[in-house]
Structure 1
């Protein structure tokens, strides 16, 4: 038992300090490091609780008397210090994001919302949620599953989340685009904390599948996102949604596709056979996205995605079709008519480095006539908001603020 306790202590300490440090040039080990750091960092308090509980159980059983067990206790103590630090860091998320929102939207942005919509905003998070990180369903939300929006079978299905009670004027719509390196992922796997939260507060959320590589080459992925937008415009009123206001979000590859869709409304090459459809977006919230296929600022030269993109996603090299690579980069499509955007990225993202988000946001801020908000979260890993955590739930609150502001401003412009 002492040996097992010591082994668990070492494994726990490795996980904790993987989440604390910012590891970058780790090459083939990046996916493994990400997984360990992600699950430890977002579940820090849960890890702390089980580690302390295990230690207390062994102490009461008199099994901590051996030298090996006491060495394990020392290693666990180091892990506890790191876990406490990670939890405190997560608790600072609302301070970081509120400052970002005020910089981008104005100090008094909440006061510009209708009073009834101010009431749906939240500043705190519930321990009952982040202590049960994988419990997603929420009372009062209705789900419609596996609705076809185009002809590619399973890869062209969507799910709809909305309140059971209708909303005057229709529910504003949020389209969720999953990530997964353009090669894996399902609509049921990501952004559920955000979608259920919004659906409880008068929003309709649509989560889509889209065609994946290597079976499909880019731009099939963005074409499907555009098809989903067109479907929403034509059909979402049947489910109580307002087809005139569509916001979009997504993480990683979904962050790339959601930002690209927002920046290329009605772009004919991405709308083959439905060129006349309105695919404009009224607000966008990309999470930890890839914004530059070309890596023109040499951000990730030592951890390049170029070979993977060329072999699996684009299915051609940059020199073979430079325009495809360029037009597929959100950075190349930044323009003054971009919709309001809230870009979110973590400082410790080991798969898509934070410098890429900074470059993209800088270009947006110099060019766009609309609001640009940038939330850079200290310590956050890639995919941090897939399940409930302290950081996730505070981020969901901040995104709700941004979307409510964007919708209220849009309504004022329509009046």
Structure 2
């Protein structure tokens, strides 16, 4: 008599639950919603899940476990899971088209003409081998990371990491990235690593920053820290071979909120105590899965980026999944609508179909499409750069 295939059953049940959590209609019941972010990771690594499931099925078959009644039930469920994973892969393949449509809408007709031929060719791809073969492998041999450079006096919350190419010449643009974590957790060197390493390999100098975390009543400490990072860039980044006049901010989740706040409050002395004379204007902003509402009950100053939108807002590239359960997509839609009403600068809004909150952690079909979109957007912005004067940017 065949053995009870406990290991195979557990594998199938786990993958079945994760797949159900992603593909089932949003109004269907789900338990353990607090762990949703972890379950939804399968949305970004469906090829790995598919390989794991098929390998487990082959092993169970070769050992005769599928002859057991429980094994047969598990096999039937595995077939359903395979169907669900195929659906997830199909959704991921729609990401590239969604990014192209957003760029067409935000930048206008003919924007592609500024792209180098190689970038234009890569931009046409729907599929990348990295999503299939090495979804977790972020480090690159051609990128040097210099860790834990101090930019402020807030201890472990005030270091940055600098990523730069080992081979590219000087003069590249700068990207400052701010991690997410609901304002109370998270750290540098854990999020958006595909973006940081890819841009650094192309000649950018990328900076991943820690900042003071915000508990009730501590706003605007984190915003002041990000302004200090910008001040550090103005003073030191040329030592790393970058051009500080091409300075982009990026963030995901709560980091997107902070990036938007910093971008919309350039040279505001309220948020630059002790370094009021430093120019903190930036070139453009990249926000992924961002929260754009208020975060402080004790009002020192408005804590929502929506309160600071005006005609001098820089260009924005905003990405949000339409199945984001951490920050509902309506947040992004409202922010985009206000930006487009109050500024004539480009606002590119990518709403990824069936995507969740975890769209920046791994090399996936969606993250690679976003990466191509970011490169196209920043190339366009740099070729059409028109920075406001320091006086015009003051609020």
TM-score normalised by L of structure 2: 0.91
**What residue is the counterpart of 1:222 in the other structure?**
223
- Structure 1 residues 287 and 128, CA gap change in structure 2 (3 angstroms): closer
1:381 aligns with 2:356: yes
Give distance in 2, aligned partners of 1:334 and 1:26: 38
**What residue is the counterpart of 1:154 in the other structure?**
156
The CA deviation at 1:407 is: 1.4
CA RMSD of aligned residues (A): 2.4
Deviations 1:357-408 (A, max 9, x none): 0000011111112100000001111132112112111211111111111112
Matches within 5 A, 1:160-199: 160-167=162-169, 170-199=171-200
The CA deviation at 1:201 is: 1.3
Q: Find 1:110's aligned residue among 109, 112, 116.
A: 112
The CA deviation at 1:63 is: 1.6
**What residue is the counterpart of 2:331 in the other structure?**
356
Matches within 5 A, 1:393-412: 393-410=368-385
Give distance in 2, aligned partners of 1:61 and 1:232: 60
Matches within 5 A, 1:301-320: 309=295, 314=296, 317=297, 320=298
**What residue is the counterpart of 2:207 in the other structure?**
206
**Kept after mapping to 2: 8 A contact 1:16/1:79:** yes
Gapped runs of 5+ residues in structure 2?
Answer: 390-395
**Kept after mapping to 2: 8 A contact 1:104/1:372:** yes
Q: Find 1:8's aligned residue among 7, 11, 23.
A: 11
Give distance in 2, aligned partners of 1:247 and 1:231: 14
1:43 aligns with 2:18: no
Give distance in 2, aligned partners of 1:270 and 1:354: 29
Match of 2:212, SS?
Answer: coil
1:21 aligns with 2:24: yes
- Structure 1 residues 149 and 102, CA gap change in structure 2 (3 angstroms): same
The CA deviation at 1:149 is: 0.9
Deviations 1:127-171 (A, max 9, x none): 245432221112321221111111112211111111223435x11
The CA deviation at 1:291 is: 0.6
The CA deviation at 1:108 is: 2.0
**What residue is the counterpart of 1:31 in the other structure?**
34
Match of 2:257, SS?
Answer: helix
- Structure 1 residues 218 and 87, CA gap change in structure 2 (3 angstroms): same
Give distance in 2, aligned partners of 1:255 and 1:354: 14
Give distance in 1, aligned partners of 2:72 and 2:31: 35
Q: Find 2:346's aligned residue among 357, 364, 371.
A: 371
**What residue is the counterpart of 2:392 in the other structure?**
none
Q: Say how many residue pairs are matched.
A: 385
The CA deviation at 1:218 is: 1.2
- Structure 1 residues 227 and 26, CA gap change in structure 2 (3 angstroms): farther
Give distance in 1, aligned partners of 2:172 and 2:316: 20
Give distance in 1, aligned partners of 2:46 and 2:120: 31
Match of 1:158, SS?
Answer: strand
Give distance in 2, aligned partners of 1:27 and 1:219: 36
**What residue is the counterpart of 2:312 in the other structure?**
337
**Kept after mapping to 1: 8 A contact 2:316/2:346:** yes
The CA deviation at 1:412 is: 11
**What residue is the counterpart of 2:289 in the other structure?**
288
Give distance in 2, aligned partners of 1:120 and 1:229: 33
Give distance in 2, aligned partners of 1:90 and 1:401: 19
